[in-house]
Each structure stands twice: as C-alpha cells, then as structure tokens.
Amino acid sequence: MSNSVNYLGNTVILPQQEPNISRDSQSTNYIYVQTHGPAIDERQKQELRSLGVELREYLGNNTYLCHYPPTDLAPVRQLSYVRAVNVFHRALKVDPDLKDIAVPGYINVLLHKDASAEQIAPVIAAIDGAAEDDLDTSYRKIRVRVDNATALADISRLDSVQSIEPVREAVLGNNLARVDMHAVLPAPLADFAGQGQVISVNDSGFDLGGVDGQAPTDVHPAFGNKVLATIAVGRAGKTNDPNGHGTHVCGSAVGNGQSTTMGGTIQGTAHGADLVVTSLLNDAGGLTLPTNLYQLFQTPYGKYNSRVSSNSWYTKSTTQLKYDDQAKDVDSFCWDNKDCVVVFCAGNEGGQFGTKQIGGVSAAKNCITVGATRGSRPNDGVKFNAAKAAVDPRATAGFSSLGPGLEGRIKPDVAAPGTAILSTASRDPAITADKLQQYGSTTDRDWMFMSGTSMSTPLVSGCCAILRQAVSAADPKTHHNPSSALIKALLINGSLSAGEKHDDSSKAMSAPSSFEGFGYVDVARSVVPKETYFADNAQGLLQGEQMDHDLVFDSLDKRTAVKVTLVYTDRPGEALQNLLTLSLKATNNTSVKDTSQLVENNVQQIILRKVNGPLKIHVQADRISRAGERQPYAVVWRFLD
C-alpha cells in the first residue's frame, strides 16, 4: 500500500518505518487516520468514536479526515488496524494553483462542518485587511480577495479552514435532436413529454425577462404559460437574456412552438414540462455564481418543486481541473436531496489541451455530465449548413471535452446531439441579426441555431423529466418521487453502448469511452415496458450488507445479452466515500461477471453478451465511510437484441 496522503491535489509522503510524524494534536481539532485496510468495519468505527474520533471524509488510500478534540494521539495510534495518525497538515489545505500566488485574486475558503462562516469571516477580514462587508459568506464557505502570499498562508493556518481554492471563471458551453435521441416515444408512451415535471435552467437569462421571482408576462410564443418564475442572480432585478444562450437552452428542454419557414413544429424533449430560469449573466457579460452552488439549486427545488436542474456552463481552464469545491457543492446538494437530477455540460475544450479536459464542476460524482455529438442535421461540425450531407448523429463533436476526470471516474456519463441545434431565440433587443445567424442561417426571428455541449445538456435534462414522468406513471404509489440515482441509471442503461445495435443494425462502440461515456442517449430504450426492469432501494445497505435481484431469463427469448447498470448518490468528497460493487452471479452463487475495473465509480455497468440461464444481480456495500450509515442505490437491467 502507498505511504502517502492525498488531498486537493497535494501529497504528503509518510515515512515507511515511522509514519506518525505529528507529536500531538494540541494545535488542532482535525487529524487524518490511515488504516492498514481494507475498509474499517462497524465495530472499528464505533471504537474510534469512543476515543473521540469523528470520521468526516474519506480521502482515498484508506485515509480519513477526522474531527478529534483530544490532544493525545496515542490512544488512536495504539489500535491494531491503524497505520498512521497525524494532524491535518496546512500543506494539504491550499490548492496547488495558489501556492505561487503572484497577483491578487479571489479565493473560496471552505470551513470544516462545525465551523461558522459568520464567526470566522471577521478573522479572515482582519488578516486580509478587508472590510467584513466585502466578504461573501455562504454556509461553510467564504469568498475573499487576497493580495499576497502572506495573507493566504495566514488564512490557511486557521484551524477552522478545511481547504482554499481559487475562484475560477465559469463560461457558457455554447426538433431533429428529439428524433435522434428517440425522445419521440412509441405507444403506449407517446404522450409522455414531461407533464407534471419542472425543469430549472441556470443560464444567461430568459427572453425579455420579467419581475425577479415571478412568472414573466410577455414570453416567447414557444413557452406559453409554462414559465413559473425567472430569478435574478447575476444582475440585480434583471432576468432578460441579451446573450441568447439561456433562451435557446430553455427551448431545447421545454419549448413547444411552430415556424412555417423553419420546418413546422419545433419542440424540446420535455415540451410538456414547466420551467424555472435563474439568470447568471452579469453586467460585464460573464457569469456570476453564488459562493456556494448549493444555493443555486435550493430555490427552484424548494419553492417551485423542480426535480431536474439543467446547467449549460462549466469551469474555464487551460489545463484539466480536478474535482473542486464547486463539484463538492453539487454533490452535497444531491446527497441532501436524493430526488433531484442535476445535469451539467462536459465543456467545449475538446482538442484545446491534452487528451482529457473534463474537470471542475463537471467532474461532480452525482451529476449527469453530457458530451456532444454531431446530430443528424447537416452541419460543418459547428454551424448548420444545408449544403452539407447529413451526418451520423452519433459522431462525436470535435469541440466536446473528453474524460475521464483526473480522479479516474468515467466522464462524460452520456452524449447527445450538440451541433446545429435549432431552438428558441431571445427577443431581447440586444440580439442582432448577426447573432441570430452565428451558427447557421435562420429565416424566422424566433428561432436560431447554436452548437456546444450546452445544447446537448437541456436535451438530456428534458429526457430526465420524461423518465421521471414514466416511472411515476408506471407505479404512482411506490415510485411517485423516484430517486435521481434511478433516473440516471435508466438514462445510462438505455444509452446505446457495447453489445447493442442501432436502428441501421450497426454496432455501437464499446462503452464507457472518453467522449460519450456510457453511450448515446436513447430514451425509448430506457423506458420500454416489459423490457426495462429496475429496483430503487431507498433504504440502502450498511457496510458488509448485500442484496440480490433476480434476473429472470426466458430460454425461448431470442435476446441472449443483458445490460445492468448500478448508480448511487455518493457523499460529497473528491474520493468515492461509499463503495458499492455490482456483479452477476449464477444460481450456485459463483460470479459470472463483475465491475472490478470501475470500483472508484458510483456508476457501474455490466454487459454480458451470452446469458445461458437465470442470474442474480448482486449489489454489495464494500465500504461505507460513516458509522451506522446506509447507502441507497438504484439498479436497472434490460435484455439486448
């Protein structure tokens, strides 16, 4: 086993012979405990708790960040299963990108969970020489501008500080698509279009806007009365869309309109759903985000009952970013609200640097990260071009950011059309004729083309709304409010991947891949009755527990392959906090196939090409980071042609 401790992109090497390098913990209430492995069991967790050790976050490599008020480390070090116990080093707290700070900039200071931002903010203000009113505090996070390395170092010395990261720039990830994704469902699901669902879109704004926090009264004709509210974040009291990006995204999710000159009916994937829009656009033309992204999702979720959040923006960088504080915010919200599906674009950095680009907020474990394909509309790779031949809708768009993430997790999760997507155009006066034609010629002022993983994301968000509706309709009593893990599992399991055939009988590529994750979204395959089966286990498993689900095989059925997908919403943290594993077992309990290559993913999948008889889908809790905690999960399976 390695003798290192890793956190926030930092590494501390522990001496092999004497890994206990801290004398005591008099100066701090926070330590890390490294065990010999494997995962510590419930008895050991309770023993640690009795000594005053509270496990807070799993850091990987059998190491736990812990709260520990006592000053003597000896009682913990004497435990037979413990390899090392040391104070939480200051060297681990600061993002490596900040260690050679040369110019002033804003930082996010994340506090340990028992610390109060309101109490720590005056201390940080005094260190930095800033007015307390200049600090932005939100729950456990403080945003402050630092001018020099000395102030940064002094802030990192505060015991309440868990991590310090730079504030990075967020950028926008700039009808036929529904057909490409089979979001036009066959009978008996043909009427499913997201009715009863609410999608929230966090973007540049919406059309002409309206009164902050209220439903707009003058809306684009494709939206009717489906816009429940527009919310201002980036500009005080303003929710209009002078950029055009947000309105286009909204149309791809829930729009339902007509254009005589642009092809007749033009609809979003969930054209029966309602909409809430949060405007992030600021007066400088960039995006302003809450210090803690948790707030971004909370109002649409709590006030407007939105259970699908669509986010067509990502963290701008010139190198691949790690899982960061924004990703942690997303995972925190998903962990606390396990029925909310959060969707993010992969980003448009494909080919810009290195072989992998997905990172930052798009690397969140619990969101659905969406890559882009070309789509079937004629295009040159970016713009609509009627002179071009129609392309394979599954061909990867060159601009789509690639995975996996730096942590090794599969990203993107899925891919969908993102090139030359026709959708609603903002009627804001700032939208010029040149802007309307930027991604291809349009003959109707109310409609325009755009390209990017931004365009793929709302299409997938709409698909998630359809899946929520379909699950609820199938069993309103039991599944009236399905978990986000189930929706993600249905979406991924239905996506075209290895072992499945397209409509033209050509084989799909092997999955997971670096550019389309687990496959190309195909909604119909996710919800077809009597072909797709699922279990949404809200009670979950304790560490060491296991659950079997019968996979009944009809020997007369010509379909002899099966695909099984496990998804669970993990606790926030760079490392996988809770580890569930998926395997297929024969009736004699021998393993047929497992997911050992995906053990650090909270999405796991098995494709078995030859089923010879009854099988059991086996889910096991190998590691649960907190004492007495259960990990819910969802598993979906279907037989393949």
Least Cα distance to 162 among 265, 275, 28 occurs for 28
CB 5 within 8 A of CB 34: yes
First to last CA, the chain: 43
Half-sphere exposure of 271 (CA within 13 A, CB side): 23
Given a contact cutoff of 8 angstroms between Cβ atoms, the answer to whether 522 and 502 are in contact is no
Smallest Cα–Cα separation from 449: which of 176, 170, 171?
176
Largest CA distance in the chain: 78
Query: What residues are annotated to the active site?
Result: 203, 245, 454
Question: In the Cβ-directed half-sphere of 45, how many Cα atoms lie within 13 Å?
Answer: 18
Backbone phi, then psi, for 580, in 5-degree steps? -105, 145
In whole angstroms, how large is the CA radius of gyration of the chain? 25
Give the pair of three-digit tokens for residue 128: 């930095």
- C-alpha distances (whole Å) from 95 to each of 147, 208, 277 are 16, 40, 33
Do residues 453 and 346 make contact, with C-beta atoms less than 8 angstroms apart? yes
Question: What H or E segment, with its residue span, contains residue 473?
Answer: helix 453-474
Q: How many CB atoms lie within 10 A of CB 445?
A: 12
**How many whole angstroms separate alpha carbon 301 and alpha carbon 18?**
50
Map residue 278 onto helix, strand or coil: strand
Instruction: Give residues with Cβ within 8 angstroms of 80, minimum separation 6.
Output: none
Contact between 238 and 205 (Cβ < 8 Å): yes
Q: Is 411 exposed, middle or buried (0-12, 13-18, 19+ CB in 10 A)?
A: buried
> Nearest Cα to 313, choosing from 205, 414, 176?
205
Q: How far is CA 311 from its chain centroid?
A: 10
Amino acid identity for residue 335 in this structure:
W
Torsion angle of alpha carbons 376, 377, 378, 384, nearest 10°? Answer: -140
The dihedral formed by the CA atoms of 479, 564, 453 and 319, expressed in degrees to the nearest 10: 120
Do 587 and 623 form a contact (C-beta atoms < 8 A)? Answer: no
For 65, the 3-state DSSP assignment is strand
Hey, what are 48's tokens?
């640690």
Residues facing residue 222 across a β-bridge: none
Q: CA nearest 605: which of 491, 453, 479, 482?
A: 491
Go through 388-403 and write b for each residue having 16 or more CB atoms within 10 A of its CB, e for each that does not: eeebebbebbebbbbb
Is the separation of the CB atoms in 472 and 487 below 8 Å?
no
